Structures are given as C-alpha cells and as structure tokens.
C-alpha cells in the first residue's frame, strides 16, 4: 500500500498533529520517508509542541519530546510528560520520547524538547550519549544548556512561540503542578 502522507503533502500544523498522534511504530506504514526528509528542525519542534498540547488536553503538563535519526531524519521516538496521566513522578517529555525509542545508539540522534531540560533529564541526555539537543523554550525555564555542552553535547535553542505560550498558560493555571513536575511533591508541601 502507498503511504497516505507523501513527499508532495504540504507541511501544515494539521499533518504534523497527525504525526504527533500516530504511534511511532505506525509511522512507516502511513508516512513516506521522503516526507520526513523534507521536514525542518522547526517542523520537528512543532511536532513536539503538538505532543505537549496533547498532554495539556489530557490534564497533564504540556511538555513534549521527539527523537530523530541524524542521517535519515525519521522519527525514532516521541512522547510527552505523563506525571498526571500515569501517576508517574518522573516521565518527562524527554524520558517519554527515549522510552518510546527503546534501546538505541543515541549518539546518532537528536532530541527536540519543547522545554529546557530539568537536572534529571539533562543528566539522562548526556548519560545516553545524545549528539544534539534542540530546546524549544528557554523563556519559561533554562539552566542546563551549559552543563550539556560541558559534557560534549551540541545544544541549539530553537524557540517555538506556540509552545512558549502554551507553557505560560499552563503555569498560570496550575502553578503547583509545575513545581511538582520539576522538584516533586516535597517542594510543593515545603511551599
């Protein structure tokens, strides 16, 4: 069967949202490799933001992550924070995308994260040997970019205004959830 999304399919938020929602294992059956080849880094970051939106719509923390192969530009893993959805104290956007990818050699891969990585995720990224991290929001949070660079990881900032606006809205609505996601319930109770 021919894939539904081909080289000629226009790149719109609607098709990127479809890709965000499709299980990663199903992408090869529905999307031509040539379509992914033409996507820009901005497009992959937008897929991350649309995953963040999915998380927000589920009542969770809006942070998404996308892992791509540097050579083929195909998506190897993607996901979003599931603190609320899975009652999980640590499944951040990056963690979720890495779990979805499975056991991979991440030195051949780039991860797009919609929010500047927390201390745990920054450690996870360099300990798993990622070659490159692209950060979609250093306005809402930042701090570990230099740590990653000191560990030999290439770090680029590529802010997505849709993602920044979404995170700002969520933080206004649920400030305690934002703190819990970052530093745990202990920090919320400490006040």
Active-site residues, by number, are 94
- The DSSP bridge partners found for residue 157 are 135
Question: DSSP letter at 139?
Answer: S
Computed on alpha carbons and rounded to an integer, the radius of gyration of the chain in Å comes to: 16
The residue from 56, 106, 112, 167 that contacts a second copy (CB under 8 A) is: 106
Q: Which residues 65-94 are close enough to bind a second copy by CB under 8 A?
A: 83, 86-91
Q: Is 142 in the site for a second copy (CB under 8 A)?
A: no
Do the beta carbons of residue 92 and residue 118 sit within 8 Å?
Answer: yes
| Angle at which helices 13-21 and 41-57 cross, to 10° | 60
Alpha-carbon 115 to chain mean position: 8
Q: How far is the CB of 117 from a second copy (least distance, A)?
A: 11
Q: How far is the CB of 163 from a second copy (least distance, A)?
A: 23
Do the beta carbons of residue 34 and residue 7 sit within 8 Å?
Answer: yes
Q: How far is the CB of 106 from a second copy (least distance, A)?
A: 6
Sign, Cα dihedral of 147, 153, 154, 160: negative
- The DSSP bridge partners found for residue 132 are 110, 154
Q: Is 179 in the site for a second copy (CB under 8 A)?
A: no
The residue from 9, 17, 104, 142 that contacts a second copy (CB under 8 A) is: 104
Stretch that binds a second copy, among 7-15, 39-47, 49-57, 118-126 (CB under 8 A): 118-126
Q: Is 101 in the site for a second copy (CB under 8 A)?
A: yes
Q: Which residues bind a second copy (CB under 8 A)?
A: 83, 86-91, 95, 98-99, 101-107, 118-120, 123-124, 127-129, 180, 182-187, 189-190
């Amino acid at each position: 069967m021919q894939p539904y999304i081909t080289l000629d399919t226009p790149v719109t938020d609607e098709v990127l949202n479809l890709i965000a929602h499709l299980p990663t294992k199903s992408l090869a059956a529905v999307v031509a490799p040539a379509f992914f080849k033409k996507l820009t880094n901005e497009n992959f970051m937008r897929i991350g933001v649309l995953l963040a939106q999915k998380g927000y719509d589920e009542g969770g923390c809006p942070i998404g992550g996308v892992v791509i192969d540097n050579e083929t530009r195909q998506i190897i893993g993607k996901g979003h924070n599931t603190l609320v959805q899975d009652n999980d104290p640590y499944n951040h956007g990056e963690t979720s995308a890495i779990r979805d990818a499975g056991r991979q050699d991440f030195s051949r891969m780039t991860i797009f994260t919609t929010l500047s990585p927390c201390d745990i995720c920054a450690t996870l990224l360099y300990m798993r040997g990622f070659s490159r991290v692209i950060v979609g929001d250093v306005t809402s949070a930042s701090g570990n970019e230099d740590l990653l660079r000191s560990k030999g990881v290439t770090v680029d900032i590529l802010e997505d205004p849709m993602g920044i606006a979404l995170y700002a809205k969520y933080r206004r609505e649920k400030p305690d959830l934002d703190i819990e996601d970052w530093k745990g319930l202990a920090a919320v109770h400490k006040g």
